Structure 1
Amino acid sequence: MTKVLRDFSGRLLLVGCGNMAGAMLDRWIAAGLDPARVAVVDPFASPRDGMTQYVSLAEWQAAGGSADWVMLGMKPQQLGEVAADLAPLATGDVHLLSILAGVSLSDLAERFPDARAQVRILPNLAARIGAGVSAVASLGDTDTSAVSALLDPLGQIVTLADDSTMDLVTAFTGSGPAFVLRLIESYAAAGERLGLSAEDALTLATATFGGSTALLADSGEKPGVLIAQVASKGGTTQAGLDVLDSDGQLTALLTNVLRAARDRGRELADLARGNG
């Protein structure tokens, strides 16, 4: 069932509206957010009907702009430049939201000390269709019910006690769709290499991955339980699993993938702090 945006009011300013922030915005509008309550400061963002777009914060402020909720959606390394102009405006009851990779709550608190709360959100691209997952951690006097209302239409919400694991979560769920899509792409390529047409291979791969994750979510079982229901001793599935499980190579590969993404997030944080 499609979730609608409930119990959320106020004016929303998006500073930067690239792929991820744009996916969130499109989902919010589809869920009932009035575009007239949204302003975007990003000269390159795709325009949305009924929403005002500005080239700079100065232009937004000159037009009499004000906001109760401000979300940072630009590149992390632009934080210093943006914060200098935005910090005097992010005061009082303003919630400062951030989806910036690697930028910690303590970084946000230092840059925006007079905001009512600093909220770090890690969504992923499936938020565009309401099937994403958002990890959340916050500081200050956070209106948690309003934050939950805002994020609920995007998909599942996981509230973290702090943001100490957020760099890993950024790699795990934020970057995760790209890794899963690459696996699907590679699975289809393997099928094509062994004789399927490219079209059939991609269709079958997409349906197989989608059905498997839906089955896992619906069953409430651990993956191993369902694997045992597919694989029989000495059968075709087990022959393939023996290759996947050989010497723990698959887990080792994915560990290296996540480590590289996590460490890059930390490097981006250093750039945002001006240490790069």
Structure 2
Amino acid sequence: MKKNLQDFAGQLLLVGCGNMAGAMLERWLEWGLNPAQVAIIDPQAAPREKIAQFTSIAEWQAAGRSADWIMLGMKPQQLGEVAEQLGPHITNEVRLLSILAGVSLADLAARFPEAKGHIRILPNLAARIGAGVSAVASLGDADASVVTPLLATLGDVVPLAEDSTMDLVTAFTGSGPAYVFRMIEAYAAAGERLGLSPEDSLALANATFGGASALLAESGERPAALIAQVASKGGTTQAGLDVLDGDGQLAALLTNVLRAARDRGRELADIARGES
């Protein structure tokens, strides 16, 4: 059991505790965060031992007044409701953290003007095992480094100079694991269609993608250099690469995937601001 967060100070209130916020919380508890320092506002969240969970508006307000840290992890469309019920009860000693897709730092500052600092975090699901990446941006004088002890337990931390890039990062790294999982699923399905059993195809696909990613990370080489080590001219690998690279279709497909996810993040921001 890791104990790196035993010295974490203050009370942490999670507003929303779904898949992403829940994965972050489980990792923090594993690394020594005291459950008595955590409270949750989320009627849908599964009960967690020794962690207070609030459901009524009165409890929300009391929790907001007593919190030192508040992390917004609900749906972006719920921002207006949460700001209305919780915002007036946040003191100027509270640091506000947000993992809400599409909700900018300016939006947060407008909704929660009394907060001591506004910090936007974009983690991804691999945070559950400490292999994630968290992009982080802060507003004005807010120092994003104050959340480094929390975020470092989740994996890599990448500070962003501009909050305006967060919509693309949301699509690129936040949504990214789902796209990788889909590609592994499709790769396994292709193996099955060509004659492998479903079990063997999925096991081999998982091992192939996992091993390739581990090798890329460990070697420090560029992907192209490793491709050259696998593919030989006129060989089987090159025959497959010729299909993947044909007419730039793969790059175009992934560009369209990221564009769609980025644009949806912007739409969610408009909804959160009541503009759509």
TM range, normalised to the smaller chain? Answer: over 0.9
Structure 1 counterpart of 2:148: 148
Match of 2:208 in 1: 208
Cα distance change, pair 102–144 in 1 and its aligned pair in 2 (3 A) = closer
Alpha-carbon distance in 2 for matches of 1:57, 1:257: 39
- Matched residues in 2 for 1:158 and 1:7: separation? 23
Alignment of 1:100-249 (within 5 A): 100-249=100-249
Deviation at 1:43, TM superposition (A): 0.9
Greater than 4 Å deviation, 4+ residue runs = 62-65
Aligned to 1:36: 36
1:86 is aligned to 86
How far apart in 2 are the matches of 1:128 and 1:49?
A: 18
Contact 1:3 1:153 in 2 (8 A): no
Give me the whole-angstrom Cα distance separating, in 2, the residues matched to 1:101 and 1:123: 10
Please tell me whether the aligned partners of residues 61 and 85 of structure 2 are also in contact (alpha carbons under 8 angstroms).
no
Which residue number in structure 2 is paired with residue 25 of structure 1? 25
What RMSD in Å do the two structures reach over aligned CA positions? Answer: 1.7
Call closer, same or farther: CA 1:42–1:64 in 2, change over 3 Å.
Answer: closer
Contact 1:124/1:173 (8 A) holds in 2:
yes
Distance apart, 1:58 and its partner CA = 2.0
Question: What's the CA shift string for 1:142-179, capped at 9, x where partnerless?
Answer: 34443101111011000001211100100001110100
- Is the 1:6–1:149 contact (alpha carbons within 8 Å) kept by the matching residues of 2? no
SS at match of 2:196: coil
**Residue 74, structure 1, aligned to residue 71, structure 2:** no
Seen in structure 2, the aligned counterparts of structure 1 residues 65 and 88 have a Cα distance that, compared at 3 Å, is closer
Identity, % of aligned pairs?
A: 75
Alignment correspondent of 2:50:
50
Does the 8 Å CA contact 2:39/2:51 hold for their aligned counterparts? yes
Seen in structure 2, the aligned counterparts of structure 1 residues 132 and 207 have a Cα distance that, compared at 3 Å, is same
Higher alpha-carbon deviation: 175-184 or 136-145: 136-145
Change beyond 3 A, Cα 1:219–1:198: same
Partners of 1:29 and 1:143 lie apart in 2 by 24
Structure 2 unmatched ranges of 5 or more? none
Q: Distance in 2 between matches of 1:229 and 1:57?
A: 60
Q: Which whole-Å CA distance do the structure 2 matches of 1:115 and 1:170 have between them?
A: 24
Residue equivalent to 1:253: 253
Relative to structure 1, the CA distance from residue 189 to residue 42 in structure 2 (aligned partners, 3 Å threshold; closer, same or farther) is same
Structure 1: how far apart are the matches of 2:63 and 2:12? 15
Counterpart in the other structure of 1:274: 274
> How much does 1:94 deviate?
0.7
1:39–1:53: 8 Å Cα contact kept in structure 2? yes
Cα distance in 2, alignment partners of residues 141 and 36 from structure 1 = 30
Which residue in 2 is equivalent to 1:15?
15
Aligned mates of 1:275, 1:7 — CA distance in 2: 42
Change (3 A) 1:108 1:263: same
1:178-218 CA distance string (max 9 Å, x none)? 00000000000000000100000000000110110110011
Structure-2 change in CA distance of 1:133 and 1:119 (3 Å): same
Q: What's the offset of the Cα at 1:140?
A: 3.9
Q: What is the letter of the counterpart of residue 156 of structure 1?
A: D
Gaps of 5+ in 1: none
Please tell me whether the aligned partners of residues 15 and 42 of structure 1 are also in contact (alpha carbons under 8 angstroms).
yes
CA contact (8 A) 1:137 1:159 kept: yes
* 1:129/1:58 CA distance change after superposition, 3 Å: same
